[in-house]
Structure 1
Amino acid sequence: MNTSLYKVALSKSFSWDAAKQINALVGGTRGSGKSFFALGALVQLASFPRFDESKLLGIGTLPTPIFTIDFKNSDIARLGELLPKKRVAVNKKEAIAVLTHFDQLMHRRLKVIRDYSFGATASKLKMPLYYLIIDEWSATNAAFMSGMTKADKDLRYRWQALIQDISMLGRAAGFGLIVISQQISVTNSGISSAVQEEAGLKLHFGDAEMSSYRLTFGNEVQIPDVQLNVGEAFAWIEGVTSSGYVIPFAAPYGDAANIWNILTQALASQDDDYYLDYRLR
């Protein structure tokens, strides 16, 4: 039985430990269910711990502060109505501000952790996680790659440097990334090798050509001959999918009509500073 304080249900049969596999990549074509799945995962993250397997919401004593970047200005961006100010970005300038703040909080958390014994981490100390969700990575990264002015180049450099820093240092601090994109390969989407290598969870939603699955999971992973529908995905989880095969699963059914009320409850406890040194006793 998985008794982790940081357990996110991927299906009724298995889960993702968001503290151990701190960064996640979620791929799939438009309409495959990846964004709606991310909202359900966000509910669980924001209301940790979740001990009742029958409920989406946890008890909220270890809530995860959520930050988002959504250049489409769609469902993920609407969380700005529920989150504290300056947590949601819909353009390059706002994205750099959100990333910079997130990165600064991470380094402050690392300083707090260093006051504890050698080898301490946020999860060992039962500290809340912090998560940044980037929707439609391909379009977002392309926006930063365009433009040749000095200002464009400065934003591009800061974007790449901040993503790299968070990817490399986030695990010990409990600061994670969820990257959502139609393609999540280095070649096709511009995702850096650092993000790919540090991803402990990789999901691909919906039916696709084998070449697309290979771009997501790599050539060494075996892909079952299973056709996926909307809301169904293959999962690779670091330390779990050790057989060489990805796991096919159907995400839990989400109540679309009630999701906003659920999100409102889940995001009731959000604070930038309070949870940096908070520990669950």
Structure 2
Amino acid sequence: MKAFIAKHIYQHRGTRIHYETRYLLRRAGISLFISAFLIALALGLWLVPILPAYPFPELSTSTGWEEIQRYVQAIQYKHFLLVVLGSILMGLACPFLCKIIFFERYLFMKQRQMIAVFVIDRGLFDMETKQVEKEQMWDFSLGNQAKARKMVTKERVTYFPKIYYEVTKDKMIRIRFPLDGRKYQDTFLTFTKTLEKTLYCDLDKVIDEEGFVCYQFIYGISRDRLTIQDLVSKAGKLALMTRVIWDFDKLPHMLISGGTGAGKSIFILSIIKGLLNGACRKEDMKICDPKNADLADLDGIFPSVYSQKGGILMATRVFKEEMLARSGEMKQMENYRTGNNYRALGLRPQFLIMDELASFIEMLDMKEKSEYISNLKQIVMLGRQAGFFLIVGLQRPDTEYLGGGIRDQFNFRVALGSNSDIGYRMMFGDVDKQLGFKTVKGFGYVDAGKGVISEFYSPYVNPEYDFLDEFRNLSSTVGEMQ
């Protein structure tokens, strides 16, 4: 029934934005002022003795005119003036207080007004202008005070696009623009970059609807930043921000880029912590660090940590062989059905974590490189259903290191720190977004498999937080399959 109503009768798309919406905040402020002023004035006149009782008992024998004069003279004009001034102050304070108390509602109203102004300033509507004859009651330039007529210009909006503004339950902002075939349609399909800057939002995804294009934005995405204690993995997902989730069952393999000091290693350690907090055990991870740096310190805490060339080559080969073996074993399970993945069969995900991939490939000779790249390619192509995933960090994803279509198989990509235009293009391809840099530790951009690039803030880690102590305190069987 709900689907029938939405299709044939009414479908809620949000609040309609009209031509008059350009004055939305002004009208709301005036309405609040008048309401508060009248309420305060009524209370003041009721509480403060301003008007004397009428009629005066001592003037019962006097004339009516004398009574009125006496009554007017007895009014407390000073008190009345104070009440009026106090009411004006209350009226002025009311919009300001409402803005503070209901700031989120104010923000959404402001965004609706900005969209209306955006459309009007760019002339994305049609207006009709015509001359109308108007009578003037009196023309004192004429001796006989006859009625005069003059021509005035009147404007009327004949077409304003059906734009809808909606705030979802999870505080996503959805703005729908019409695809009605009019001359403004192409503009509605191409100005997301300007809207992002205007509304201080990040485009989350584009939704195609019948007759509309829906842009979903995240406002103030920096507020979605999590802390290291918040990271939990379950049901094949790991939330890295409140509304940025790595669904590794559907978006297998993560690619992380960023120069020296961008925070790649800390981010990878945070991912490991989040995976251990739910989905994995320590033995489900193979960790490779060819630079013998931060990840190599996990040796002795995790069972499979490698920093030497031979060990990394062996770990990658074994990881591939285990993947192929599991793929065969899954088909032999009694509860196996076509299309089932590892989790449907009660198996845990496995992760091969590789930092500084480019540096490692530079260490290899031609034969070793060919074999290593071949193993990586098989893992990224075949690993999803069996639950074998790659997490790779490097400074720049050149095709020299991730050739043969391997880079395209990394469905979740994070670029941390400051990257060059070429580096961003290697990570995300050609995108209609102005990519900049913020001096916030852990800042970057993410492609979460939605076809758009959003700002990203890696989980906050207190400088005093010790990953090694935390991992030592975790038993080998800390993870539980969820």
- TM-score between both structures, scaled by the size of structure 1: 0.79
Cα deviation, residue 198, structure 1: 1.1
Cα deviation, residue 124, structure 1: 3.0
**Which residue pairs with 1:100 in the alignment?**
317
Are the structure 2 counterparts of residues 3 and 137 from structure 1 closer, same or farther at C-alpha, using a change threshold of 3 Å?
A: closer
**Which residue pairs with 1:55 in the alignment?**
none
Query: Which amino acid is 1:262 matched to?
Result: E
Q: Please, which runs of 5 or more residues in structure 1 have no aligned partner?
A: 50-59, 147-152
1:222 and 2:432 are equivalent in the alignment: yes
* Match among 246, 265, 269 for residue 35 of structure 1: 265
Cα deviation, residue 268, structure 1: 2.4
1:183 and 2:183 are equivalent in the alignment: no
Q: 1:64, 1:128 within 8 Å by CA — same for their partners in 2?
A: no
* Match among 406, 410, 413 for residue 199 of structure 1: 410
Cα deviation, residue 161, structure 1: 1.8
**Which residue pairs with 2:242 in the alignment?**
12
1:249 and 2:456 are equivalent in the alignment: yes
Q: Is the helix fraction higher in 1 or 2?
A: 2
Q: Please, which runs of 5 or more residues in structure 2 have no aligned partner?
A: 1-169, 171-231
**Which residue pairs with 1:118 in the alignment?**
338
From the CA coordinates, give the structure whose radius of gyration is larger.
2
Deviations 1:118-153 (A, max 9, x none): 112113334211001111011111111x4xxxxxx4
**Which residue pairs with 1:237 in the alignment?**
448
1:79 and 2:298 are equivalent in the alignment: yes
3-state SS of paired residue (2:432): coil
3-state SS of paired residue (1:170): helix
Range that drifts further, 129-138 or 91-100 = 91-100
**Which residue pairs with 1:56 in the alignment?**
none
Deviations 1:85-133 (A, max 9, x none): xx22222211121112211211121112112111121133342110011
Are the structure 2 counterparts of residues 6 and 263 from structure 1 closer, same or farther at C-alpha, using a change threshold of 3 Å?
A: farther
Are the structure 2 counterparts of residues 207 and 280 from structure 1 closer, same or farther at C-alpha, using a change threshold of 3 Å?
A: closer
Distance 1:15 1:214 in 2: 22
**Which residue pairs with 2:477 in the alignment?**
269
Q: 1:26, 1:202 within 8 Å by CA — same for their partners in 2?
A: yes
Distance 1:119 1:12 in 2: 30
Query: Which amino acid is 2:273 matched to?
Result: V
3-state SS of paired residue (1:124): helix
Deviations 1:136-176 (A, max 9, x none): 011111111x4xxxxxx442332122111111111111101
Distance 2:475 2:409 in 1: 27
**Which residue pairs with 1:88 in the alignment?**
305
Alignment of 1:123-202 (within 5 A): 123-144=343-364, 146=365, 153-187=366-400, 190-202=401-413
Identity of aligned residues (%): 23
3-state SS of paired residue (1:160): helix
Distance 2:306 2:345 in 1: 30
Distance 2:260 2:271 in 1: 18
Query: Which amino acid is 1:172 matched to?
Result: Q
**Which residue pairs with 2:89 in the alignment?**
none
**Which residue pairs with 1:57 in the alignment?**
none
Q: How many residues align?
A: 247
Are the structure 2 counterparts of residues 178 and 266 from structure 1 closer, same or farther at C-alpha, using a change threshold of 3 Å?
A: farther
